[in-house]
Amino acid sequence: MESFGVLVERHQPRLWRLCERMLGSSEDAGEATQEVFLKAYRGCSAFRPNAKVSTWLYRIAVNHCLNRLRRRKLATFLSLAELAPKAQGEAPAAEWDPADSGPDAEQRLADRRRWAQVKAAIDRLPLNQRSVLVLAKLEGLSYREISQTLGITESAVESRLVRAMRRLQALGIQQGVGHGG
């Protein structure tokens, strides 16, 4: 249990960040991270010593987030009440922190708005493209590491990443240019 505690301490920040980027919510990320480590604890016998621990944990986390996103999509589809605020363009409460005061306040607010738009665009990607994009860009994993994490070929990683980028371009996500939603 102590050694598992060390594992949690070491990998928890990165896994939390990954879950937050995959799920788009800090609250969901906290719960998801906990579930990921529970799954890792239960499945530690399935871990192969020749694999990297981080890759193994990433794989569990990505699969967990994808399952969660699929369930969320289904729940959204089934619940008309949930659709209403999104249709009006309301952002989740966690996305909007109170504005800071100070000389950089405007810039920070603009950054947050831009980031909210980027996250909204990422949310619109198909799940298989989203996971590749998050791992490549936001987690800084190489094609090889992504292919090991997701259990797909490097060629599939490449195709999904290019498709994701094309879709984001179509949604108007560009540096220094007005972002579309």
Partner 1 sequence: MAVRDRDIKLLMRYVAGELDEAARRRLKERLDEDEQLRAALRQLRSTWSALSPPIGEPKVPDQTSRILSEIRRRRERDPGVAGWFAAPVWIKAGSLASLAVGLVMGLLVSTSGFGPPPEVSEPSADGDLFLAAEPTSADLYWRALEASSGGLGDEQENGT
Q: Which residues bind partner 1 (CB under 8 A)?
A: 1, 4-5, 8-9, 12-13, 16-17, 26, 30, 33-34, 37-38, 41-46, 108, 111-112, 114-115, 118, 122, 133, 136-138, 142-143, 158-159, 161-162, 165, 168-169, 173-177, 179
* Of 54 and 79, CB closest to partner 1: 54
Q: Pick the closer one to partner 1 by CB: 75 or 105.
A: 105
Whole-angstrom distance, CA of residue 95 vs CA of residue 147: 31
Question: Read out DSSP for 34-77?
Answer: HHHHHHHHHTGGG--TTS-HHHHHHHHHHHHHHHHHHHHHHHHH
| Of 72 and 137, CB closest to partner 1 | 137
- For 153, left (φ over 0), alpha (ψ -120 to 50), or beta? beta
Query: What is the residue whose two structure tokens read 């920070």?
Result: 108
CB of residue 47 vs partner 1: minimum separation in angstroms? Answer: 10
C-beta closer to partner 1: residue 9 or 98 = 9
Q: How far is the CB of 48 from partner 1 (least distance, A)?
A: 10
Cα separation, 29 vs 23, whole angstroms? 7
Please, what's the largest Cα pairwise distance for the chain? 54
Q: What are phi and psi of 154, to 5 degrees?
A: -65, -35
In whole angstroms, the minimum distance from the beta carbon of 81 to partner 1 comes to 28
Smallest separation, CB 142 to partner 1 (Å): 7
Using the minimum distance from each CB to partner 1, give the nearer residue, 39 or 72.
Answer: 39
> How far apart, in whole angstroms, are the C-alpha atoms of residue 64 and residue 69?
9
In angstroms, give the least distance from the CB of 97 to partner 1: 8
Q: Given the complex with partner 1, which of 62 and 161 has the nearer CB atom? A: 161
Smallest distance, partner 1 to C-beta of residue 126, A: 16
- φ/ψ (deg, to 5) at 69: -65, -35
